[in-house]
């Protein structure tokens, strides 16, 4: 632990700006004057949601250097690669939630790696498009280098497809169109992606595809990508281009891998079997002998399979020559499917419910405790829901009024002592635009339950409450208001 002394830990937390003096004072009052050990304070801070489980774990291990970088507090580690780690972080200036990508320490000592990392960030800052995750800031704290970007509440495309298994032709085409729009915008500014794959496409809570990580965009020589993650990421592109005599950094290479994503969205089967084996990924036959999509899914419309086939032509001269050409054909295919032409900007509009696949119910959960947020998000996502997580009650209610979810779930801690005493107090518009509303009350507020007039879709649940019981109540409320439910999954426990 950083220290077992309560006073020293208190000073550390305030100095790091993880707590305000007032927050610390409130917790110390709960602790009482007879306690002098640091551990009980950490337990209170985690229970109240003032520190995340990750932060508490780092403090217990005596590691404080990575808790705050610049003006950002690191809350959880979301992903890790050989080159960098990605965290969910909160701005200490305005409270904004961001994604923070931190260069690993072993690369921070390599000037070339640092230059590539900072170059990635500077290039990303120039991209402002609805279908590209924006980069906000390039920072350095001592010898640690990082960038911040939009925190997308949702998951990557692979996680999404693990739930859905495969998408309908219309859904897959909309998603691919949004990716192509992002690529077309970037190419207009001289940038290619160079690492297009399922995990580098994020699906927002509104069902909008956003490209992330233009890390190898526009590199003019191979020297900068000869080691570390750069070499790993460049391998498949380099193999394809070498085998077809295409120029390095060919925009048409992005289109081949866009086709691979489209293929998998439509069939549920990756055209390039996943492997970490470098030798396998370096074999040109891996790319030239892809099984035709018409053999995997012969029922697909010819207009759709023709786009996939042209995107994945091994000869780059027979492939689409730029993303703009793909956009035209994808929009035509959507019209043929009777889906119209959804513009990227419209897909972010609260009024456009078609942006989210209709068979995925959206749950907006308001929960102030960050550890519980992750448990709920993981559990509900596993059971086939799209989850939008917020920590502030008033902000969440405002979002629910503007862009109604299928179910509004308000957890006990987010209510506070003086929180709403009835469903009417939530201020939801009349007629109701949120189909289902569930409120979880703590035992100490049992007396206030009578103020909530329950119906088939408005329910009050009391703690203690298992995840299974919560899920059962959600499904029943959604069923009662006619929302299509994901397929129920068997549960071994809570």
| Residue 424 CB-half CA count within 13 A | 4
Which of 320, 327, 301 is CA-nearest to residue 257?
320
Provide φ and ψ at 136, rounded to 5°: -95, -45
Which residues of the chain form CATH 1.10.510.10?
155-217+230-347
The CATH class, in words, for 68-151 is: alpha beta
In angstroms, the CA 342 to CA 324 distance is: 15
Token pair listed for 324? 């703009």
- Which pairs with CB-CB distance under 8 Å and at least 24 residues apart come from 109-112? 109/143, 112/223, 112/224
Contact indicator for 191, 218 with CB cutoff of 8 Å? yes
pLDDT at 351: 35
List, for residues 329-361, the tens digit of each pLDDT value. 999 999 999 876 444 434 443 333 333 344 578
- Cβ neighbours of residue 392 closer than 8 Å, sequence gap 6 or more: 366, 368, 414
Residue 132 confidence (pLDDT) above 90: yes
In angstroms, the CA 231 to CA 195 distance is: 11
In angstroms, the CA 448 to CA 255 distance is: 58
In angstroms, the CA 465 to CA 383 distance is: 18
List, for residues 409-466, the tens digit of each pLDDT value. 998 877 776 667 778 777 776 556 667 889 998 888 888 787 888 887 888 999 888 9
Bridge-partner residues for 44, per DSSP? none
pLDDT at 350: 38
List, for residues 369-390, the tens digit of each pLDDT value. 877 888 888 888 888 888 888 8
Q: Which of 97-111, 175-189, 219-233 has the lowest mean pLDDT?
A: 219-233
The predicted model scores a pTM of: 0.68
Which residues of the chain form CATH 3.30.200.20?
68-151
Burial 90-103 (b: 16+ CB within 10 A, else e): bbeeeeeebbbbbb
Read off the pLDDT of each residue in 169-190 and give the average, rounded to a whole number: 94
The CATH class, in words, for 359-480 is: alpha beta
Token pair listed for 229? 């993650």
pLDDT at 262: 98
Q: Which of 98-102, 153-157, 364-368, 471-475 has the lowest mean pLDDT?
A: 153-157
Which residues of the chain form CATH 3.40.50.2300?
359-480
What does each C-alpha distance from 488 to 356, 385, 461, 472 come to in angstroms?
20, 11, 21, 10
Q: What's the CATH fold of domain 155-217+230-347?
A: Transferase(Phosphotransferase); domain 1 (1.10.510)
List, for residues 70-87, the tens digit of each pLDDT value. 999 999 888 877 778 899
Q: Which of 20-29, 225-234, 243-252, 266-275 has the lowest mean pLDDT?
A: 225-234
Looking up tokens 């500014």, which residue turns up?
189
């Amino acid at each position: 632990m950083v220290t077992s002394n309560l006073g020293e830990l208190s000073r550390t937390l305030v100095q790091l700006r993880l707590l305000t003096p007032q927050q610390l004072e409130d917790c110390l009052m709960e602790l009482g004057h007879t306690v002098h050990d640091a551990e009980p304070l950490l337990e209170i801070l985690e229970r109240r949601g003032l520190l995340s489980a990750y932060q508490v774990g780092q403090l217990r291990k005596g590691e404080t250097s990575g808790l705050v970088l610049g003006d950002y507090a690191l809350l959880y580690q979301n992903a890790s690669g050989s080159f960098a780690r990605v965290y969910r972080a909160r701005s200490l200036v305005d409270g904004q939630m961001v994604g923070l990508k931190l260069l690993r320490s072993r690369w921070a000592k390599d000037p070339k790696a640092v230059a590539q990392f900072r170059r990635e960030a500077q290039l990303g800052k120039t991209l402002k498009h609805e279908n590209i995750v924006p980069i906000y800031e390039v920072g350095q704290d001592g010898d640690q280098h990082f960038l911040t970007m939009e925190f997308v509440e949702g998951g990557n495309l692979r996680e999404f497809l693990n739930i859905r298994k495969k998408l309908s032709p219309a859904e897959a085409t909309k998603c691919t169109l949004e990716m192509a729009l992002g690529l077309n915008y970037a190419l207009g500014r001289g940038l290619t992606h160079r690492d297009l794959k399922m995990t580098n496409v994020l699906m927002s809570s509104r069902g909008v595809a956003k490209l992330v990580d233009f890390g190898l965009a526009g590199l003019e020589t191979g020297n900068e990508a000869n080691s570390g993650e750069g070499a790993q990421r460049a391998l498949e592109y380099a193999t394809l281009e070498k085998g077809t005599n295409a120029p390095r950094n060919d925009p048409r290479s992005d289109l081949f891998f866009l086709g691979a994503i489209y293929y998998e969205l439509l069939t549920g089967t990756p055209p390039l079997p996943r492997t970490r084996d470098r030798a396998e990924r370096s074999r040109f036959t891996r790319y030239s002998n892809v099984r035709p999509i018409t053999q995997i899914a012969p029922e697909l419309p010819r207009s759709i399979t023709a786009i996939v086939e042209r995107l994945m032509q091994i000869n780059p001269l027979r492939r689409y020559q730029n993303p703009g050409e793909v956009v035209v054909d994808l929009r035509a295919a959507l019209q043929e499917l009777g889906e119209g032409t959804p513009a990227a900007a419209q897909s972010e509009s609260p009024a456009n419910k078609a942006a989210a696949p209709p068979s995925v119910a959206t749950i907006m959960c308001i929960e102030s405790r960050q550890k519980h947020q992750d448990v709920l998000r993981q559990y509900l996502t596993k059971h086939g829901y799209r989850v939008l997580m917020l920590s502030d009650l008033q902000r969440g209610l405002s979002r629910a009024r503007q862009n109604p979810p299928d179910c509004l779930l308000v957890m006990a801690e987010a209510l506070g002592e003086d929180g709403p005493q009835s469903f009417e107090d939530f201020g939801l518009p009349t007629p109701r635009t949120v189909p289902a509303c569930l409120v979880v009350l703590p035992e100490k507020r049992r007396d206030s339950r009578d103020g909530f007039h329950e119906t088939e879709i408005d329910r009050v649940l009391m703690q203690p409450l298992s995840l299974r019981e919560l899920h059962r109540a959600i499904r029943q409320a959604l069923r009662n208001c006619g929302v299509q439910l994901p397929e129920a999954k068997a549960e071994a426990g809570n």
